[in-house]
Structure 1
Amino acid sequence: MLVFLKEDKKLWVKVRTTNVIERLFKELRKRTRPMSLFANVESYDRILYCLVKKYNTKWEDRRYAIF
């Protein structure tokens, strides 16, 4: 997980994506745990798809520093 430390410090911000992924998983758990029961796997998949799509749309417009 610390492989990015070998890269130039200017790129660290772009290289460290695990925080974003971990945050997404935390949000998905927070949203799905109160539901506790799902009719089937497909209904769970639909909920996850909608949540991931929502967060992806939110992150699309995010600008990063240009190096």
Structure 2
Amino acid sequence: MRNVERLSSLKSELLDIFMGMEVVEHEQRSRSAAQRNLRARRGIELHNEFKRLSQEIAPLPDEASAEDEMH
């Protein structure tokens, strides 16, 4: 009977260890996914900011014509 109890206890302990490992792996995958999403979002925001700035800095067609006439 004692061997059965030990075996049951060992099985339970191994299952607890395995489940704990799966939880840790899941948390790591979740953190990695969150970091990838954040990097992607920042990249998109940076791209949009550069695009907006280049449009603001670029001379308008009317301004370019007016400058040519002045010189």
Query: TM-score, normalization: structure 1?
Result: 0.37
Determine which structure has more spread, i.e. the larger CA radius of gyration. 2
Q: Which of structures 1 and 2 has the larger relative contact order (alpha carbons within 8 angstroms, sep 6+)?
A: 1
Query: TM-score, normalization: structure 2?
Result: 0.35
